[in-house]
Structure 1
Amino acid sequence: MCKAKFEVVSDNDTFVLIVDLDQGKTITNDAHAVIEKLSSMTKHGLGNRKVYYRDTCGRFDELEHSDSRFTRILPCKESQQQFLRELTPPHL
């Protein structure tokens, strides 16, 4: 059961971007359940799409997964940080 609260900001053919709402567990601390929930929320699962998230400190990282199972957290490069920041609505 996923205890992290998050909002999906972007969901396209190549990646999913979510934002941690800082309620309950963080995405970082509930990564396994977050990947499982995202996989079940989409019609055909996550497939090969990357999953990026903004943590409670405002930093973007990737939740790496394989067959919709969380494997590890990867830090995003500065260019990715800027790109993902631009996709995130100001109210989040």
Structure 2
Amino acid sequence: MRNSRIPHASFTYEFSDDNILQIIDQDQGKTVTNDIDYVLSEISREENRPLAGCTVIYRDSMGFWDGVALTASGQFSNFYSVRETDVEKALQKVRGTIR
């Protein structure tokens, strides 16, 4: 049996002006969903700051935006449903401006 190790998730990200982290799964290696701890730690390392206080959404490999709840220290807590395919609608939902 071969030891085939799946590479970590490939992703891009950006922050909005109001500190909403938007992660996009590039659909290579593991999914962002299945590698969320790694993804968040890499972003925190690259930004040289904890993600505590950030709102986080991500576009999964199926094209849906959903939310990532963080602990007070900025670690992964759980996922929550946003279920939008349009990033602007997803941002409006997490900002609480539409339901």
Q: Which consecutive aligned stretches of 4+ in structure 1 deviate over 4 angstroms post-superposition?
A: none
The structure carrying a bigger strand percent of its residues is 1
Distance 1:24 1:77, change over 3 A: closer
Q: How large is the RMSD of aligned CA atoms in angstroms?
A: 2.4
Unaligned runs of 5+ in 2: 1-6, 92-99
1:27 alignment partner AA: V
Show the counterpart of 2:27. Answer: 22
Q: How many residues of Structure 1 are paired with residues of Structure 2 in the alignment? A: 83
Distance 1:43 1:76, change over 3 A: same
Q: Deviations over 1:31-89 (max 9, x none)?
A: 111111122222332121111100010100111111121111111165x855248xxxx
| Bigger radius of gyration among the two | 2
SS at match of 2:89: helix
Structure with greater contact order relative to length (CA < 8 Å, sep ≥ 6): 1
Show the counterpart of 1:39. Answer: 44
TM-score, scaled to structure 1? 0.74
Between the aligned residues of both structures, percent identity stands at 29
- Alpha-carbon distance in 2 for matches of 1:27, 1:12: 23
SS at match of 1:25: coil
**Offset at residue 9 of structure 1 (A):** 3.6
